[in-house]
A and B are shown apart, each in its own frame.
Chain A
């Protein structure tokens, strides 16, 4: 045994004598982590956050969160003799007089953008693969809160240098706060310590930015990771992967080494960006001044959707009993993002209620195998995307040489029409892909070899798909059957299916479970996974199973009639619906 080996062994024994650690950690060393490129998206967010903590701590060593006005005498000649706040002057000092300061500032800013972009991408991945399903709903909710906190953290962070651009951002923040009915003016006065801009907003945002919000984010990330660890990561469908196992490489040494390397790559990418891609050159913008403003002002990209919502809104305002209701400001500030976040937060529970699916899911769905979910996701992204692009309507108008007002009108229309089209198109594409899969399963892979039979007939040879691909193709979800509704043959609807709510549920069930038909029946090749995890809840389901004519079977082929034009279903004549 080498010297280091002995030393580490000694340390290990020393610790174990005191912690009983070997007992529990052996299991952790062998903990299995499934592998897929899309699982790295969340890691990018995590590592960006670590880099934010490192670079941010560096910046606090010189930054002065103070609005006291001073005259600049530092290295940057064009601003010498100009009056500015200490916050802005210390940002110049970090950029010009602290070695590595500009690098750390730029890495910090890029890391914030990457943090938010990675959260979005990760969230999109989790949604489209159904990884938010039971038992991971809590982690989904934590993720949404983290996204929201990230937006505030970013906004407060880029407001700190007190430059002309960030000051405009604060002015807009104040204007939005003022617009809220009843409490708005008070909120604005309390946050800014009086009228805008006042003398306290920078120190207040500073403590929120460096302590309060990062503390919350850190705590929630810890909870997020703990839950992920405890519940074990989901896996993509594949050979031998079921809802009762987890297939992959052990944490030690494989996952640790790979994820360590990945941290290095994320850091390297950010270092490259911080070196070669200039971001937020505050010395060009100049110190904040309430009288000046430059054209083409843009917030960071993750605020672009809110910016677009403000720009797209008509100028509606009403005065009731001497009070002004600023629909034109507080509606766009709250509603569009509110729809997306609230919708995302409720979606797992809506889906569970409609489908009655209370099983644990550990194998992810392929997006095509949940056509309605995927279509809703793309519709939401379209809605977000239209407003996000509208947030840069002046830049678009300038670069594309289109009228600014045409772009705004296009956004006003497409924010409603776009998601509908996106929904329909996505659903069609998913169903088409499902049919392609079904074709592959039934007929195999086309080899391109044409053979002539003795009878003179030409046929194309196919070969069956290999086992790995077969497992993926067969990973279609099997939805539990809905308990009988009012149209049940017995005439007695199950408890959860009565009344208007029951009708809504059975209708939504049809939409949410819509899939291309599987001709050789469900459950083919699903044996172990789905069938094994029966849940104990099933009073309704058990009933459904016993009924001779189940609603769900009827629904399934009813949709088939709609999409495929195959034979009409015997249950399709339900006038009750």
Chain B
């Protein structure tokens, strides 16, 4: 048995020699129990029996060696060379770890190249060597194994049914409906327990989504610079600035709803309404200062910051799903999946001449939610 194995795989040969006989010894052990006298180590006994009984009967399914031993020797050398290279690349990986320390962009780049390159090389060489080994050293075989229908035979099914039914009867589960029903009753609250326990995952929404932190007199701060801005500083038509409510620069929950953009227009560009609420795709004149209009930056689709502004067309574009709003017409939706204009923030100037809010938005900002419906659309 073992002499059939190639020198490259002594391990497997060893396992099989201790393994095949055990299989064969199985019926032997049952058939002649009297031959084992006393208590010899079982493994030894099986090995001895196997050596006598199975060796001559064994029919080989896999050929021991490839057809061409000369070629095999060449392939063996080739694979060994590839594995040696893999070893060197592996050493290179460890060396790279020691040599390259990262910390800077360039340092990290070098470290990444050296570590990744050597790792890939090791893996690639090992894979290539193994494939050559399998394809050119292991003798080619194609074996056929029978398949049997997966369904059990009728007898097996009948036996299973009997066994199952016997168990069901013995358990009394079927016979005693009172027990069965109370057991189910008892498990009901237990099944609900995980859901109950999850209740404190978050607070109830209440009307949290309806309002932002904007309030009368709160200054508009330039996002990033965190300072107020006056209409005089913002006098180039076509320019746009991101705005946050004064003092909320570190409050992401507040900013996620209260972020605003202000856009400066030439006189006559904005389509105004004299009403005190948005109508017919018009800008509320009373809520602007000096042709500066403030819109919520949070897209009414799913809430991305509508961050792109095209000066020539006055379009505000959300980079996530391309909803497009016309800034001259109350940010009405021109294209895309957003259902509503971006709400307009009422603004004015305070005593020092800085832009301030006249109050909160007249409706919830950002994406729709089920309870939103009672507000202006």
Interface, chain A (partner B; CB < 8 A): 1-2, 4-14, 16-17, 22-23, 25-26, 30-32, 69, 75-76, 83, 95-103, 106-107, 135, 168, 171-172, 174-176, 178-186, 188-198, 231-232, 240, 243-250, 252-254, 257-258, 260-262, 264-265, 267-268, 271-272, 274-276, 288-297, 307, 310-311, 313-317, 319-326, 328-329, 332, 360, 362, 393-394, 404-405, 408, 533
Contact = CB atoms under 8 A, between A and B. Distances in A.
Contacts of A294: 307, 319
A43 B14 CA distance: 30
B10 A258 contact: no
B162 interface: no
A328 B337 contact: yes
Nearest to B333: A315
Contact of A26 (B10, B20, B103, B142): B20
A66 B2 CA distance: 59
B145 A246 contact: yes
A418 B144 CA distance: 44
Nearest to A359: B149
B259 A1 contact: no
A296 B321 CA distance: 10
B43 A13 contact: yes
Given A258-B134, A311-B322, A195 B256 contact: yes
Contacts of B49: none
A197 B253 contact: yes
Nearest to A295: B319
A293 B305 contact: yes
Which one of B203, B301, B321 has the highest number of Cβ atoms from chain A below 10 Å of its Cβ? B321
Contact of B131 (A31, A97, A258): A258
Interface of B: 2, 9-15, 17-20, 22-23, 26, 42-43, 47, 61-62, 97, 100-105, 108, 111-113, 115-117, 119-120, 123-124, 126-128, 130-131, 133-134, 138, 141-150, 198, 201-205, 208-209, 223, 242, 244, 250, 252-253, 255-257, 259, 297, 301-305, 307-308, 319-323, 333, 335-340, 366-374, 377
A284 to B, nearest CB: 11
Contacts of A257: 130, 133-134, 138
Contact of B127 (A5, A264, A313, A326): A264
A191 B119 CA distance: 40
Top 7 nearest A-B pairs by Cβ distance? A175-B302, A275-B116, A5-B14, A264-B127, A268-B123, A261-B130, A271-B120
A75 B101 CA distance: 12
Contacts of B145: 30-32, 232, 245-247
15 contacts: A16-B18, A30-B143, A98-B102, A107-B116, A178-B367, A179-B302, A188-B205, A193-B203, A197-B256, A250-B62, A268-B123, A271-B119, A324-B373, A408-B322, A408-B336
Contacts of A188: 205, 369
Contact of A293 (B17, B201, B319, B322): B319
A291 B259 contact: yes
Contact of B102 (A75, A179, A250): A75
Given A16-B18, A276-B116, A329-B301, A290 B256 contact: yes
A185 B144 contact: no
Contact of B377 (A26, A31, A192, A319): A319
A184 B291 CA distance: 38
Contacts of A360: 149-150
B18 A10 contact: yes
B20 A197 contact: no
B146 A244 contact: yes
A254 B14 contact: no
Contact of A244 (B123, B147, B336): B147
Given A196-B303, A272-B120, A185 B209 contact: yes
A194 B203 contact: yes
Contact of B14 (A9, A95, A232, A293): A9
A533 B256 CA distance: 64
Given A189-B202, A192-B202, 16 more contacts: A1-B17, A4-B11, A8-B12, A12-B18, A16-B43, A30-B145, A31-B145, A103-B119, A194-B253, A244-B148, A247-B143, A260-B130, A274-B112, A292-B305, A296-B319, A329-B337
Contacts of B112: 102-103, 106, 274-275
B191 to A, nearest CB: 19
Nearest to A307: B321
B253 A245 contact: no
Contacts of A326: 339, 367-369
Given A103-B115, A247-B144, A268-B123, A310 B149 contact: no
A196 B304 CA distance: 12
A83 to B, nearest CB: 7
Given A190-B198, A294-B319, A310 B302 contact: yes
Contacts of B2: 1, 5
Which one of B10, B141, B340 has the highest number of Cβ atoms from chain A below 10 Å of its Cβ? B10
A183 B307 CA distance: 30
Nearest to B116: A275
Given A275-B117, A360-B150, A319 B335 contact: no
A98 B300 CA distance: 41
B209 to A, nearest CB: 7
Contacts of B256: 171, 195-197, 290
A96 B301 contact: no
B62 A96 contact: no
B336 A264 contact: no
Contacts of A75: 102-104
A185 B369 contact: yes
Given A179-B368, A268-B127, A186 B303 contact: no
A103 B113 CA distance: 9
A61 to B, nearest CB: 16
Contact of A329 (B42, B302, B305): B302
Given A185-B371, A189-B204, A268 B102 contact: no
